[in-house]
């Protein structure tokens, strides 16, 4: 039985019905015929109520669809949030790795600067020594040498000194160029780090927006679930009442129904269409009664058979019928006791074709409608054995 409701919508409907019924076609009455006027007013009010009921049914269907869409949106937002959090974590990893590289590079630059400073001090000392003692030339070496071997040794020593100074200068130049490269590389890494930080700030801003959207969706979901929870409790009460009615009727009429030929365990299709819009069993519809053994936590106690409005509904077997017009969840419904523990329930009928009492197998008992909590014309059909709902397809061969 497809039964969806939103309590605030129902209350608003009641207020709207009391205040401003929708206009309908005027009835042509004699001005001196008050009865005709009353009938016209009643028709106008009935038309207004029907229009409002149609609007409510549309809203109920849209609400159930909205709940499903909202669940998909929340799941999508959760996936996007996980992806974004993973990206932020990856960016943070890059930032941390780059920070380590920067620290190592700064340490390397500090060592290189210290090394250059030592070499610079050495060369400065050499320059000051040469300025103090003057430069030695080869003529002086020749004049002051005792012999040729001493001269040769002094020349070689001087050449080594000059060569060492030249190498020191050349190495200092290379070291300074390397230091400049290290500083340029450090500057580049710092720019990369700033770019990563900016990227992370943008990712976190996106995450904040995403979290806000997710919280809004969750808040709406909680409101809808609270509304469906209230409806579910009322429908459970209606189901509990129907269960009690079935048990009572079976005790009263089981033997009489058998005498009419019912209770064989063989059933006819109650309408001439076999289009099942909702099967028996666990369901995702939030308004259905709570059923802990279902993974979905909701259960549908019959099958919904759709057909054109006012399609004739027939007794699935002979028995004794009891009518319950205008009930809460099932709308206009009937229970037929067939005997031997079997009974059937027919919900959401537009109106009845029989009264309380015996019915024959295949007899028209009413007409398909959309009374109670329903989103469109259909028949909610149940087969019960010893008061417990069973899958009608086990007997009908769906």
Q: Which of 380, 338, 344 is nearest to 360 (CA)?
A: 338
Over range 26-51, report the average pLDDT. 56
Lowest mean pLDDT of 93-97, 144-148, 221-225, 316-320, name the range. 144-148
pLDDT tens digits, 378-387: 999 999 999 9
Report which of residues 113 and 64 the model is more confident about: 113
The rounded percent of the chain whose pLDDT value lies above 70 is: 71
Which pLDDT score, from 0 to 100, does residue 147 have?
64
Over range 25-35, report the average pLDDT. 57
Structure tokens at 299: 């259960």
Over range 281-301, report the average pLDDT. 86
Q: Which of 236, 381, 383, 217 is nearest to 299 (CA)?
A: 236
Give the model's confidence band at 14: pLDDT under 50 very low, under 70 low, under 90 confident, else very high: very low
Report which of residues 348 and 291 the model is more confident about: 348
Give the model's confidence band at 177: pLDDT under 50 very low, under 70 low, under 90 confident, else very high: confident
Which pLDDT score, from 0 to 100, does residue 396 have?
95
pLDDT tens digits, 207-240: 888 888 888 878 877 887 777 777 778 778 888 8
Give the model's confidence band at 360: pLDDT under 50 very low, under 70 low, under 90 confident, else very high: very high
The rounded percent of the chain whose pLDDT value lies above 90 is: 32
Over range 139-159, report the average pLDDT. 58
Lowest mean pLDDT of 193-202, 250-259, 336-345, name the range. 193-202
Q: Are 285 and 64 in contact (CB under 8 A)?
A: yes
Which pLDDT score, from 0 to 100, does residue 8 have?
34
Q: Model pTM greater than 0.75? A: no
pLDDT score of 40 more than 70? no
Q: Is 358 exposed, middle or buried (0-12, 13-18, 19+ CB in 10 A)?
A: middle
Lowest mean pLDDT of 123-127, 178-182, 260-264, name the range. 123-127
Structure tokens at 156: 């070689």
Which pLDDT score, from 0 to 100, does residue 49 have?
46
Structure tokens at 324: 């319950």
Measure the CA–CA gap between 202 and 194, rounded to whole angstroms. 12
Report which of residues 216 and 50 the model is more confident about: 216
Which pLDDT score, from 0 to 100, does residue 79 have?
83
Measure the CA–CA gap between 190 and 279, rounded to whole angstroms. 64
The mean pLDDT of the chain is 78
Give the model's confidence band at 5: pLDDT under 50 very low, under 70 low, under 90 confident, else very high: very low
Q: Is 314 exposed, middle or buried (0-12, 13-18, 19+ CB in 10 A)?
A: buried
Which pLDDT score, from 0 to 100, does residue 163 have?
64
pLDDT tens digits, 300-358: 999 999 999 999 999 999 999 999 998 778 999 999 999 999 999 999 999 999 999 99
Which pLDDT score, from 0 to 100, does residue 34 have?
58
Q: Which of 103, 21, 29, 97 is nearest to 55 (CA)?
A: 21
pLDDT score of 165 more than 70? no
Which pLDDT score, from 0 to 100, does residue 295 have?
93
């Amino acid at each position: 039985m497809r039964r969806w409701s939103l309590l605030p919508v129902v209350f608003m409907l009641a207020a709207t019905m009391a205040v401003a019924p929708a206009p309908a076609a005027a009835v042509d009455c004699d001005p001196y015929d008050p009865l005709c006027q009353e009938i016209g007013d009643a028709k106008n009010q009935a038309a207004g109520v029907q229009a409002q009921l149609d609007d409510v049914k549309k809203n109920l269907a849209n609400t159930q669809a909205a709940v499903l869409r909202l669940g998909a949106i929340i799941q999508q937002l959760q996936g996007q949030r996980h992806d974004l959090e993973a990206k932020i974590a990856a960016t943070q990893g890059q930032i941390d790795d780059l920070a380590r590289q920067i620290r190592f590079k700064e340490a390397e630059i500090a060592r290189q600067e210290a090394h250059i400073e030592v070499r610079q001090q050495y060369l400065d000392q050499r320059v000051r020594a040469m300025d103090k003692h003057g430069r030695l030339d080869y003529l002086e070496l020749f004049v002051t040498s005792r012999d040729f071997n001493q001269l040769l040794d002094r020349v070689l020593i001087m050449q080594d000194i000059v060569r060492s100074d030249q190498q020191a200068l050349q190495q200092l130049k290379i070291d300074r160029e390397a230091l400049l490269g290290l500083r340029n590389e450090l500057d580049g890494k710092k720019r990369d780090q700033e770019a990563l930080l900016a990227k992370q700030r943008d990712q976190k801003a996106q995450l904040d927006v995403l979290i806000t959207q997710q919280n809004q969706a969750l808040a709406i979901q909680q409101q809808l679930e609270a509304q469906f929870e209230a409806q579910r409790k009322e429908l459970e009460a209606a189901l509990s009442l129907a269960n009690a009615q079935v048990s009572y009727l079976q005790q009263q009429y089981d033997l009489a129904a058998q005498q009419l030929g019912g209770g064989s365990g063989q059933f006819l299709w109650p309408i001439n269409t076999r289009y099942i819009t909702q099967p028996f069993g666990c369901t995702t519809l939030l308004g259905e009664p709570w059923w802990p053994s279902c993974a979905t936590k909701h259960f549908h106690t019959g099958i919904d058979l759709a057909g054109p409005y006012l399609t004739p509904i027939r007794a699935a077997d002979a028995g004794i019928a009891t009518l319950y017009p205008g009930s809460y969840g099932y709308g206009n419904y009937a229970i037929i006791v067939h005997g031997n523990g079997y009974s059937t329930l027919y919900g959401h009928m537009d109106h009845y074709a029989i009264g309380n009492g015996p019915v024959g197998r295949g007899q028209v008992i009413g007409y398909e409608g959309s009374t109670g909590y329903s989103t469109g014309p259909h028949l909610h059909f149940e087969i019960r054995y010893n008061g417990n709902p069973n899958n009608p397809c086990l007997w009908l061969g769906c």
